[in-house]
Amino acid sequence: MTLAEPLLKTGEFGPGDSEWLHLLVGDWQMIADLAQGDLVLWFPEEFLSSERSGRGQGGPAPDAGFSGMAHVRPSTTQTVFHRDMVGLRMSTQVEAAARACWFDQATQFLDRVDWNAESTMRVVLYPLVRNGRTVALLSLHHGEQSGRMQGRLDTVFRETAREILSMVARGAWPDFSSSNEASRGNPRVSDGVIRLDAEGRVTFASPNAVSVYRRLGFADALTGHLLAELTRDLLPAAEKADETLPLVLTGRMPWRGEVSTTKVSITFRAVPLRRQTRRGEERFGALLLCRDVTELRRRELELMTKDATIREIHHRVKNNLQTVSALLRLQARRMSSPEGKQGLEQAMRRVATIAMVHEALSQGLTQNVDFDDLINRQFHLAAEVASPGQAVSTEMTGEFGHLPSELATPLALIINEVVANAVEHGLDGESGTVTLDGQRAETGDGQELVVTVGDNGVGMGVSYIEESGVSAYRPTSDGEGLGMQIVRTLVASELKGSIVWRPRAGGGTEVVITAHIPEGSVDRT
pLDDT tens for residues 404-413? 877 888 888 8
In this structure, the dihedral spanned by the alpha carbons of residues 228, 167, 107 and 49, taken in order and rounded to 10 degrees, is: -170
Note the pLDDT of residue 377.
Answer: 75
Same fold, 189-292 and 374-525: no
Distance CA 46, CA 299 (A): 51
Half-sphere exposure of 225 (CA within 13 A, CB side): 19
Note the pLDDT of residue 30.
Answer: 96
What number of residues does the chain have?
525
Could you count the other beta carbons within 10 Å of the beta carbon of residue 309?
10
pLDDT tens for residues 260-295? 887 888 999 999 999 998 888 899 999 999 999 988
Instruction: Indicate if the pLDDT at residue 418 is higher than 70.
Output: yes
Instruction: Indicate if the pLDDT at residue 134 is higher than 50.
Output: yes
| Contact between residue 91 and residue 119 where contact means Cβ atoms under 8 Å apart | no
Determine which helix (DSSP H) or strand (DSSP E) holds 57, and give its type and residue range: none
**pLDDT band (50, 70, 90) for residue 491:** confident
Note the pLDDT of residue 466.
Answer: 66
Could you tell me the fold of the domain covering 189-292? Beta-Lactamase (3.30.450)
Distance CA 108, CA 122 (A): 11
pLDDT tens for residues 165-209? 999 999 999 987 776 555 567 899 999 999 999 999 999 999 999
Distance CA 215, CA 210 (A): 9
Distance CA 308, CA 363 (A): 10
| Contact between residue 513 and residue 451 where contact means Cβ atoms under 8 Å apart | yes
In this structure, the dihedral spanned by the alpha carbons of residues 7, 10, 12 and 13, taken in order and rounded to 10 degrees, is: 10
Torsion angles phi and psi, residue 50, rounded to 5: -60, -35
Note the pLDDT of residue 322.
Answer: 76
Handedness of CA 15, 19, 20, 21 (dihedral sign): positive
Superfamily of domain 4-169: GAF domain (3.30.450.280)
Instruction: Indicate if the pLDDT at residue 524 is higher than 50.
Output: no
Residue 481: Cβ-neighbour burial (10 angstroms; 0-12, 13-18, 19+): middle
Distance CA 491, CA 512 (A): 11
| Contact between residue 228 and residue 251 where contact means Cβ atoms under 8 Å apart | no
DSSP per position, 212-257: HHHHHT--S--TTSBHHHHHHHHS-TT----TTHHHHHTT-SS-EE
Rounded mean pLDDT, 215-223: 92
Sketch the domain layout of the chain as residue ranges.
Answer: 4-169, 189-292, 296-365, 374-525
pLDDT tens for residues 42-86? 999 999 987 776 677 889 998 899 999 999 999 989 999 989 999
Report in angstroms the alpha-carbon separations of 261 from 168, 246, 290.
36, 17, 15
Could you tell me the fold of the domain covering 374-525? Heat Shock Protein 90 (3.30.565)
Half-sphere exposure of 251 (CA within 13 A, CB side): 26
| Contact between residue 158 and residue 143 where contact means Cβ atoms under 8 Å apart | no
**pLDDT band (50, 70, 90) for residue 367:** low
